[in-house]
Amino acid sequence: MRYYHLHIVALVILFLAGSRNAPAGIAHKRVPTSVTFHKDTLYRSNGNGDNWCITWATDDSQVTSMDDGNWLTGKNSYHNHLYRIVGGPDGFSREDIPNYPEFKGEAGSWFGYGIVSVDGILYSIVSKTPGNSWSGPFLGIKLLKSKDNGDTWYRVNRHGNERKIGPRDKARNEVNTNEMFFHEEFGLPHKKQKAYPFSFVDFIKNGKDNSAAKDNYLYIYSPEGAHAHKLLLARVPKDKLGIRSDWEYLLRYKNSQPIWASDIRKRGYVHIYPEKSRDGNYFGWYSWLPSVVWNEGLGLYIMINGGTYAGRGMTSSDKDYYDKWMHTRTGSLGFWYSEYPYGPWREFFYTDYWTVDHPDNLTYQPKLSPKWISKDGKEMVLIWSDAMKNKKGRSHTVNYKWNQMRIMIDTK
Dihedral pair phi/psi, residue 295, rounded to 5°? -110, 100
Report the alpha-carbon distance of residue 343 to residue 341 in Å, rounded: 6
Residues 11 and 71 in one domain: no
Residues 172 and 253 in one domain: yes
Q: What is the pLDDT of residue 73?
A: 72
Q: From 155, 150, 15, 9, select the one nearest 81 (Cα to Cα).
A: 150
Residues 241 and 353 in one domain: yes
Full residue range of the structural domain in which residue 18 is found:
1-30
Collapsing DSSP states into helix, strand and coil, what is residue 238?
helix
- Radius of gyration of the chain from its Cα atoms, rounded to whole angstroms: 21
Residues 386 and 251 in one domain: yes
Cβ partners under 8 Å of residue 251, min gap 6: 258, 259, 260, 261, 266, 267, 268
Cβ–Cβ under 8 Å, residues 127 and 111: yes
Helix (H) or strand (E) holding 13: helix 2-17
Q: Is the dihedral of CA 63, 67, 70, 76 positive or negative?
A: positive
Q: What is the pLDDT of residue 20?
A: 40
Q: What is the pLDDT of residue 74?
A: 66
Residues 7 and 101 in one domain: no
Q: From 154, 151, 184, 158, select the one nearest 172 (Cα to Cα).
A: 154
Name the domain count of the chain: 2
Residues 21 and 45 in one domain: no
Which stretches of the chain drop beneath a pLDDT of 50?
A: 1-25, 27-28
Q: Which amino acid is at 111?
A: F
Q: Which amino acid is at 245?
A: S
Residues 21 and 126 in one domain: no
Residues 103 and 239 in one domain: yes
Residues 358 and 229 in one domain: yes
CATH code of the domain in which 302 resides: 2.115.10.20
Question: What are the residues facing 270 on neighbouring strands?
Answer: none
For residue 286, what is the DSSP state?
Answer: S
Helix (H) or strand (E) holding 125: strand 121-128
Q: What is the pLDDT of residue 351?
A: 98
Region of residue 60 (left: phi > 0; alpha: psi -120 to 50; beta: else):
left
Residues 248 and 312 in one domain: yes
Work out the burial of residue 243: count CB atoms within 10 Å of its CB; fewer than 13 is exposed, 13-18 middle, 19 or more buried. Answer: middle
Neighbours of 389 (CB within 10 A): 14
Q: What is the pLDDT of residue 30?
A: 85
The pairs formed by 312-316 with CB atoms below 8 angstroms and a separation of 24 or more are 314/276, 314/281, 314/282, 315/282, 316/191, 316/275, 316/276, 316/282
CB-side neighbour CA atoms (13 Å) of 369? 26
Residues 26 and 140 in one domain: no
Q: What is the pLDDT of residue 326?
A: 94
Collapsing DSSP states into helix, strand and coil, what is residue 281?
coil
Residues 17 and 87 in one domain: no
Dihedral pair phi/psi, residue 135, rounded to 5°? -170, 170
Cβ–Cβ under 8 Å, residues 37 and 355: no
